Amino acid sequence: MKRAQIFSLDAFIALTLTILLIGTISATSESLRNAISSVVSWYERANIPDNMLDVLLKTPGEPSNWNEDLVLLKSIGLREEDSPFISYEKALMFFNLVENQNPLVLDFLKNLSSGKPFCFEFYLGVWNFTADFTWNPNAGGVLSEFEVYSGECTIRGNRELTFTDPTIIQCAPFDVRGSASISSDAPLCILGSVDTHGSLTITVGHYPPPAGGPYPYLAINGDWVITGAVTVNVGGNAYIGGALIVRGEGARTINIAKDLVIFGDNTTNPYLIDISGSATINIGISGYLPGNLYLKVGNTWYASNKTGEWYEWSGEGWRKVSEPPVIRTTGSSTLNINGYPLSETWSPPTPPPCFTAGLPIEVSSVNLDYTYPQALNRSEAWGRVAYFKNNFTVNLVEIPENASWVEYASRVVSVDMRKYNTTIEVTSNYTRLISGVLKYTPPAYARFEIRVPNETGYALFIIVDGEDTKLLGVVKTRVSPYVQVYLWTNATENVSLQKTYVGNETSVRIRWVDVFSEFSSETGKPIEIWIYETNFSHPIYIIDEYNIGLLLDRKYELGLVKLWVWDER
Determine phi and psi for 59, rounding to 5 degrees: -125, 150
The more confident residue out of 411 and 44 is 411
pLDDT at 154 (0 to 100): 84
Q: Tell me if 204 is assigned to some domain.
A: yes
Residues 551 and 468 in one domain: yes
**492: pLDDT strictly greater than 70:** no
Is there a domain that residue 494 lies in?
yes
Q: Is the pLDDT of residue 86 over 80?
A: yes
Please tell me whether residues 438 and 539 are part of one structural domain: yes
19-28, 68-77, 404-413, range with the lowest pLDDT: 19-28
Which residues partner with 262 through β-bridges? 240, 295
Structure-model confidence comparison of residues 393 and 560, the more confident one:
560
Residue 476, pLDDT score: 93
Look at residue 50 and tell me whether its pLDDT is greater than 60.
Answer: yes
Are residues 345 and 464 located together in one domain of the fold?
no
Q: Of 356, 322, 318, which is closest to residue 340 (Cα–Cα)?
A: 318
Q: Residue type for 522, please?
A: E
d(CA 398, CA 390): 13
Q: Is the same domain home to 223 and 292? A: yes
Same domain, 346 and 424: no
Asked whether residue 89 carries a pLDDT value surpassing 70, the answer given is yes
Q: Which of 305, 334, 356 is the last residue of a domain?
A: 356
Average pLDDT score over residue span 110-116: 90
**Among residues 515, 526, 519, 527, which one has the least CA distance to residue 440?**
519
Count Cβ atoms below 10 Å from residue 99 Cβ, excluding itself.
Answer: 15
The pLDDT score that the predictor gives to residue 39 is 41
Q: Is residue 2 part of a domain?
A: yes
Tell whether 204 and 329 lie within a shared domain. Answer: yes
Average pLDDT over residues 117-131: 92
pLDDT-based confidence at residue 38 (cuts at 50, 70, 90): very low
Q: Residue 134: inside a domain, yes or no? A: no
Q: Which residue has the higher pLDDT, 333 or 437?
A: 437
pLDDT given for residue 396 in this prediction: 58
**Is 185 found in the same domain as 318?**
yes
Say how many C-beta atoms besides its own lie within 10 A of residue 554's C-beta: 18
Banded pLDDT at 40 (limits 50, 70, 90): very low
pLDDT, the chain, mean: 87
Residue 26 pLDDT more than 90? Answer: no
- Binned at pLDDT 50, 70 and 90, residue 472 comes out as very high
**470 found inside a domain:** yes
Identify the pLDDT of residue 36: 44
The reported pLDDT for the residue numbered 41 is 47
Mean pLDDT of 135-148: 76
Residue 464 lies in a domain: yes
- pLDDT band at 37, cuts 50/70/90? very low
Q: What are the two backbone dihedrals, phi and then psi, of residue 463, each rounded to the nearest 5 degrees?
A: -120, 130
332 plus 425 within the same structural domain: no
CA-angle at 268, arms to 263 and 269, nearest 5°: 85
Q: Answer whether residue 46 shows pLDDT above 60.
A: no
Stretch 469-486: mean pLDDT:
90
Query: Bigger pLDDT: 343 or 33?
Result: 343
Same domain? 166 vs 40: no
> Same domain, yes or no, for 185 and 328?
yes
Q: What is the arithmetic mean of pLDDT over 208-227?
A: 92
Q: Is the pLDDT at 122 greater than 80, yes or no?
A: yes
Q: Does any domain span residue 536?
A: yes
Measured distance CA(277)–CA(361) in Å, rounded: 40
Q: What is the structure's pLDDT at 276?
A: 82
- Return the higher-pLDDT residue of 27 and 489: 489
pLDDT at 43 over 50: no
Q: Which one of 9, 32, 48 terminates a domain?
A: 48
Share of the chain above pLDDT 90, in %: 57
Beta strands 218-220; 188-190: pairing state: parallel
Final residue in a domain of this structure, among 33, 48, 63? 48
| Cα 499 to Cα 169: distance, rounded to the nearest angstrom | 8
Average pLDDT, stretch 69-87? 90
pLDDT of residue 35: 46
Lowest mean pLDDT across 136-140, 288-292, 321-325? 136-140
pLDDT of 178 higher than 50: yes
Q: Is 103 contained in some domain?
A: no
Highest average pLDDT, of 19-23, 143-147, 173-177, 497-501, comes from: 173-177
Q: Is residue 7's pLDDT more than 60?
A: no
Examine the domain organization and report whether 291 and 437 are in the same domain: no
Q: What is the pLDDT of residue 348?
A: 92
Number of Cα atoms under 13 Å in the Cβ half of residue 6: 3
Looking at the 3D structure of the chain, how many domains does it have? 3
Q: How many percent of the chain have pLDDT more than 70?
A: 89
Question: How, if at all, do strands 318-321 and 309-313 pair?
Answer: antiparallel
The pLDDT, as a whole number, for residue 79 is 95
| Per-residue model confidence (pLDDT) at position 493 | 66
Same domain, 296 and 427: no
- Name the band, by pLDDT with cuts 50, 70 and 90, for residue 1: very low
Range of the domain at 184: 147-356
Neighbouring CB atoms inside 10 A of 269's CB total: 16
Closest CA to 409 of 53, 39, 117, 44: 53
Confidence grade of residue 394 (pLDDT, cut at 50, 70, 90): low
CA angle at 480 for the pair 474 and 485, rounded to the nearest 5°: 20
